[in-house]
Amino acid sequence: MTELYRWSAVELAAALHTGDLGPRAVAEHYLRRIARHPELGAFAEVTADAALERADAVASAPERGPLYGLPLADKDLVARAGVPTRYGSLARAGFVPEASDPLALALDGAGAVNLGKTATSEFGLTGYTEPRTGAPARDPWRLADGAGGSSGGAAVAVAAGLLPFAVASDGGGSIRIPSATVGVVGLKPSRGRLPIGSGFDSPDGLAVTGPIARSVADAAFLLDALVGLAPFRYATRAPGDGPFLAAVGAEPAGLRIGVTTVSPWDASEDIRLHADAAAAVQAAATALVGVGHEVEDAGWTPRGYAELFRVLWRASAARIPLTEADLELVEPLTAWLVRQGRGLAAGELLGALSAARVFERETIAAFAPFGAVLTPALALPPQPVGWYEGLDPERTFARQVEYAPYSSFVNVAGLPAIVLPFTRDASQHPVSVQLIGRPGGEATILAVAAQLEAARGALPHPPVW
């Protein structure tokens, strides 16, 4: 029998529901796989004994949820009772929560088997995953390179076959940046799409929960489960929505697809689109024409973005409950962000929030003529571990923008977006593209992404596979 880590999540789910596989056997398989690859830095904590106990409990439960028996792991920003939850920070190195966050409880309720914690950057603040609490998350294609962030551990675990898929979070690209870096599928849902991790949980509305997977179908399957985790209260779910897995085989034709390599950072930062990233967008555009879509330049001219996001980024750090003593333990960038954020004047913050809503409306209006908009996923190829080390905070920020200028604006606009690998560079490393949808347009971008996936054909796996 083919080793289980090679199975898709959809295949695993089917075999678990029919009884051809049991939750304990699946958990044991993935725990062995995780133990075999500590060099990847994917996990901040592995809870093997608890996972096997949980697998046995799931197997004997009277009801089977949509994630019955499937292995998952919490991003190390999600509290789980009795499990060390460090938030990627030495300031929380000894923290063991007594209560679980709603997402952890809901995933348990859906039947998932938790294997531990995937690595994240400190408090999820950066687009790279090199926390002082553990080893850096490494690109499984080239171990000298970083995996991106902040959900770097989750993306690495999926790419290397340590998990069938993963639940992560995205406040400025934290799902899409690492997914594009290591060559897997990452989906950021619309603001308000999910009942837990909706984006309505904070004043800036940026961070949402979403799936990381090895295929578009697996991402759609996990999105369906996430949508169903709790009674729905938000506006972006229409009565006819879902299941999203059905959208994967919809084969739409005749959509108007916009294409842009413009980023809202172009006027303020040194954005240089690498030739491989540009070629991937061109190849994807050609493939979309080949399956019957109309592809044209989106004609997008964003304005007024850079300063508003700088303010929101600092303000998001200001909400982290850190004392002055804690600030002596955190990374210099985190301490700077927190202090800068706490020093913002009320008028400055309110002005940035107001500007963000203007940017949201203008971006939605600019993209409205298109069923989806195609962009690069990243501007640069994966960079070495330590690429951000030793820089002053402003330069660290600029370098993150230079690497991933196409991510954070999607959060500000509240739109859904998916990244998937489409071409390969000279070393056979995958190069990804991004599709951005209309508000609530996950079904469309999943359908189009599946068409690109089919047109692309099978890609090789990383050497650790």
Phi-psi sector, 88: left (phi>0), alpha (psi -120 to 50), beta? left
397, part of any domain:
yes
pLDDT at 428: 96
Arithmetic mean of pLDDT, 9-34:
98
Whether 3 has a pLDDT exceeding 80, the answer reads: yes
The CATH number assigned to the domain holding 23 equals 3.90.1300.10
pLDDT tier, 240 (very low <50, low <70, confident <90, very high otherwise): low
pLDDT at 180: 99
465, part of any domain:
no
Residue type, 394: E
pLDDT at 231: 76
pLDDT at 238: 56
pLDDT at 4: 97
pLDDT at 201: 85
pLDDT at 150: 98
The residue segments making up the domain with residue 116 are 7-456
- Which residues, other chains included, contact 26 with Cβ-Cβ below 8 Å and sequence gap of 6+? 4, 12, 16, 55, 69, 70, 71, 113
The mean-pLDDT minimum among 188-192, 229-233, 255-259, 318-322 falls in 229-233
463, part of any domain:
no
Q: Rounded distance, CA 221 to CA 72, Å?
A: 14
Instruction: Please provide residue 312's backbone torsions phi and psi, each rounded to the nearest 5 degrees.
Output: -65, -40
DSSP code of 81?
T
The mean-pLDDT minimum among 198-202, 266-270, 448-452 falls in 198-202
- Which residues, other chains included, contact 232 with Cβ-Cβ below 8 Å and sequence gap of 6+? 195
Residue 281, classified by CB atoms within 10 Å of its CB into exposed (0-12), middle (13-18) or buried (19+), is: buried
65, part of any domain:
yes
Residue 43, classified by CB atoms within 10 Å of its CB into exposed (0-12), middle (13-18) or buried (19+), is: buried
Whether 2 has a pLDDT exceeding 80, the answer reads: no
pLDDT tier, 236 (very low <50, low <70, confident <90, very high otherwise): low
pLDDT tier, 233 (very low <50, low <70, confident <90, very high otherwise): low
In the chain, % of residues over pLDDT 90: 95
343, part of any domain:
yes
DSSP letter string over 166-185?
A: EEEEESSSTTHHHHHHHT-E
Arithmetic mean of pLDDT, 213-234:
90
Q: Which one of 100, 174, 215, 408 is the catalytic residue? A: 174
Instruction: Please provide residue 72's backbone torsions phi and psi, each rounded to the nearest 5 degrees.
Output: -140, 170
Q: Rounded distance, CA 21 to CA 27, Å?
A: 11
231, part of any domain:
yes
214, part of any domain:
yes
pLDDT at 242: 66
404, part of any domain:
yes
* SS3 label, residue 297: strand
Arithmetic mean of pLDDT, 289-303:
97
pLDDT at 205: 93
- Helix 442-456 with 275-290: angle, nearest 10 deg: 100
Whether 96 has a pLDDT exceeding 90, the answer reads: yes
Q: How many CA atoms lie within 13 A of 327 on its CB side?
A: 15
For residue 145, CA distances in Å to 50, 137, 156, 365, 387 come to 32, 9, 12, 38, 9
**Sign, CA torsion 371/364/259/227:** negative
Q: Which of 74, 16, 66 is nearest to 228 (CA)?
A: 66
Token pair of 407, please? 């991510």
Domain count, the chain: 1
Arithmetic mean of pLDDT, 302-309:
96
Q: Rounded distance, CA 35 to CA 167, Å?
A: 20
pLDDT at 51: 98
Q: Are strands 185-188 and 256-259 parallel, antiparallel or unpaired?
A: unpaired
Q: Which one of 89, 100, 121, 150 is the catalytic residue? A: 150
Whether 235 has a pLDDT exceeding 90, the answer reads: no
Whole-model pTM: value is 0.97
- Which residues, other chains included, contact 354 with Cβ-Cβ below 8 Å and sequence gap of 6+? none
Are 174 and 211 spatial neighbours (Cβ–Cβ below 8 Å)? no
- Told to judge if 150 belongs to the known catalytic residues of this protein, a careful annotator would answer yes
Token pair of 199, please? 């984006």
- Told to judge if 263 belongs to the known catalytic residues of this protein, a careful annotator would answer no
pLDDT tier, 241 (very low <50, low <70, confident <90, very high otherwise): low
Q: How many CA atoms lie within 13 A of 28 on its CB side?
A: 7
pLDDT at 230: 85
Q: How many CA atoms lie within 13 A of 394 on its CB side?
A: 4
Token pair of 129, please? 């995953």
Q: Rounded distance, CA 148 to CA 430, Å?
A: 14
Q: Which one of 75, 100, 215, 407 is the catalytic residue? A: 75
The mean-pLDDT minimum among 7-16, 106-115, 248-257 falls in 248-257
pLDDT at 261: 98
Q: Which of 4, 182, 156, 132 is nearest to 73 (CA)?
A: 156
- Told to judge if 75 belongs to the known catalytic residues of this protein, a careful annotator would answer yes
Tell me the per-residue pLDDT of 46-77, one tens digit each, with 9 for 90 and over.
999 999 999 999 999 999 999 999 999 999 99
Whether 83 has a pLDDT exceeding 80, the answer reads: yes
Tell me the per-residue pLDDT of 323-376, one tens digit each, with 9 for 90 and over.
999 999 999 999 999 999 999 999 999 999 999 999 999 999 999 999 999 999
Q: Token pair 């725990």 is at which residue? A: 31
Q: Which of 370, 375, 419, 159 is nearest to 282 (CA)?
A: 375
Tell me the per-residue pLDDT of 384-416, one tens digit each, with 9 for 90 and over.
999 999 999 999 999 999 999 999 999 999 999
